[in-house]
A and B are shown apart, each in its own frame.
Chain A
Amino acid sequence: MKSVLAVIEYIVKQNIRNKMLNVLTIFSIFIIGFSLAISELAQESEIRMLKDFGLFSISLLSFITLLLSVTIQMFEETELKTMHIIMVKPIKRSEYLIGKYFGIITTLFINILFMFIVLMLVINIRGSDPWELKLLLSVFFIFISICIISSVAVLFSVIATSVPGCVLFLFFTYVLGHLTIHLKKLVAHSENTVIKIIVDIIYYVVPNLELFNLKNKLETTYGLIEPSFFLFIIIYAISYISIILLISIKYFDKKEFF
């Protein structure tokens, strides 16, 4: 347990100190702060747009942060061979990988928190309520979806033999993850069983990231999200992450370090 904490601390420190990631965070804060300048009137519709823009930025920029962080780490691990030293220390490979995963999501938590605080400030300045439950829930779900895609990032970084390959596949997963639910709806009435099967496979293998986009779902007749749906997506996230991490550990246990 202590070694897992040591790995988490190390990964977070490494990310926070990295100049490229810092520049990205400053850029993100600037983008969100910039929305203050474009929306001028405190009309309801303007504020709605402001919130949507802010949430969309947080979701996209946190993903880019993840990509960058994975690129940097994988480059060091494979090209510069930092893994060789740690793999000979008395830490189980599974512990290392778990530590790495939690290190990544801790970094992203901090990253999202920063951006969200800026968004809340902007909303406050525009005279709306930054503590609105809907807003808080939305950002919480953005974080959960980033946790899911981070588990996929860990898996790819274990399997992939090159950094660009890993990043490219992660990008595909992100895009597909947001599309699967729409794909499934599209082919629902199709006669072609082959296409249906392919879409089904994609639907169940690729994480369903659109589940976590609360933008439309929040506007139900209940006024707010249904508790059962809330529970469902939390369980979905935990199961998906656990399965992906277990597969990663299985691969990692057999991995050789050339």
Chain B
Amino acid sequence: MEIVIEVKNLTKIYKSLDFWKKDTYTGIKDVNLSIYKGEIFGLLGLNGAGKTTLMKTLLGLLQPTTGSIKILGSSINNTEIRKYIGYMPELPYFPKYLKAYEILEYFADIFNIHNKRQKILQTLELVGLKGNEYKKIKGFSKGMQSRLGMAQALINDPEILFLDEPMSGLDPLGYKEMRDVLVDLNKNGKTIFFNSHILSEVEKICDRVAIMHRGHLIEPVKVSWIIKKFKSVESYFIHHVKE
């Protein structure tokens, strides 16, 4: 199987932003991970475990302290590679006086997307924002902002999707819609790497999961294996993070 994300001995130590303070904090320690093309991979973990830290380091938003990262065989600092990547941060925010269409237009221009109008409307429809194209973000609910966050991640038909808690802020119907979108993308061969606290959803869609605990990554396993051994992802999760 083709490896699309390869992480070796990755450590990220946060330093204090005030240069006169010497204190540091280890966000993630010695992480090794391979993600295969076409899989849905779920990263689980308690609050503050290091999930977001790992994702941001993979995306080049944070510099690794030690270790190496390869995305599609190259460094994320290579702008060419970023054409094939989509990223939805946790709690995405957009300038409130702009319209949903304008925000996607900005990103479409950066990707140099042809027939962008059609692509933008199509993407907004996909995430359930049809009818809100020309509404200002100011009038968006939290869940609608999340959906727009998803839309900007999908605008370039990415090969790999990085989603940081994509379900947070969505209503129950939103869960199902998001799940359908992810499964559909996956059917078209896209790789999805996401963080989530919603174990029932993770169980429904993931091929493999791994638990991040206090900065350490526990060996990834297949969801089918978990179901056989532990009955549910929840009991597997509790088993690993309990004191």
A positions within 8 Å CB-CB of B: 2-3, 5-7, 9-10, 13-14, 17-19, 76, 80-82, 84-92, 161, 254, 256-258
User: What are 10 A-B residue pairs whose CB atoms fall within 8 Å in the complex?
Assistant: A2-B109, A2-B112, A3-B112, A6-B106, A13-B98, A85-B89, A88-B85, A88-B87, A161-B17, A254-B63
Tell me, in angstroms, the Cα distance from A80 to B91 when the chains sit together: 9
B positions within 8 Å CB-CB of A: 14, 17, 56, 59-63, 79-80, 82-83, 85, 87, 89, 91-95, 97-98, 102, 106-107, 109-112, 149, 152
Partner of B110, one of A14, A17, A76, A91: A91
Sorted nearest first, the 9 A-B pairs with minimum C-beta distance are A17-B97, A6-B109, A90-B82, A80-B93, A257-B61, A90-B79, A88-B87, A10-B106, A3-B110
- Tell me whether B93 and A88 are in contact (CB under 8 A): no
| Nearest A residue to B94, CB-CB | A82
- Tell me whether B82 and A88 are in contact (CB under 8 A): yes
Complex contacts, A256 vs chain B, CB 8 Å: 61-63
Cross-chain pair count, CB within 8 angstroms? 76
Complex contacts, B110 vs chain A, CB 8 Å: 2-3, 6-7, 86, 89-91
If the complex has contacts A10-B106, A85-B87, A85-B92, are A90 and B97 also in contact, measured as CB distance less than 8 A? Answer: no
Q: Nearest chain B CB to A113's CB is how many angstroms away?
A: 21
Tell me, in angstroms, the Cα distance from A3 to B56 when the chains sit together: 23
- Tell me whether A89 and B107 are in contact (CB under 8 A): yes
| Of listed A76, A256, A257, residue having the most chain B CB within 10 A | A256
Complex contacts, B152 vs chain A, CB 8 Å: 85
- Tell me whether B56 and A257 are in contact (CB under 8 A): yes
Partner of B61, one of A13, A14, A84, A161: A84
| Nearest A residue to B85, CB-CB | A88
| Of listed B79, B106, B109, residue having the most chain A CB within 10 A | B106
Q: Nearest chain B CB to A207's CB is how many angstroms away?
A: 26
Q: Nearest chain B CB to A27's CB is how many angstroms away?
A: 19
Complex contacts, B106 vs chain A, CB 8 Å: 6, 9-10
| Of listed A88, A92, A254, residue having the most chain B CB within 10 A | A88
Complex contacts, A18 vs chain B, CB 8 Å: 97
| Nearest B residue to A5, CB-CB | B109
Complex contacts, B109 vs chain A, CB 8 Å: 2-3, 5-6, 9
Tell me, in angstroms, the Cα distance from A150 to B83 when the chains sit together: 31
Q: Nearest chain A CB to B61's CB is how many angstroms away?
A: 4
Q: A6-B106, A84-B61, A89-B82 are in contact. List 13 more A-B contacts (CB 8 A).
A: A3-B110, A10-B106, A13-B102, A14-B98, A19-B97, A81-B89, A81-B93, A85-B152, A86-B107, A86-B110, A88-B87, A90-B82, A256-B63
| Nearest A residue to B62, CB-CB | A256
| Nearest A residue to B56, CB-CB | A257
Tell me, in angstroms, the Cα distance from A178 to B80 when the chains sit together: 45
Complex contacts, A80 vs chain B, CB 8 Å: 93
Complex contacts, A91 vs chain B, CB 8 Å: 79, 110
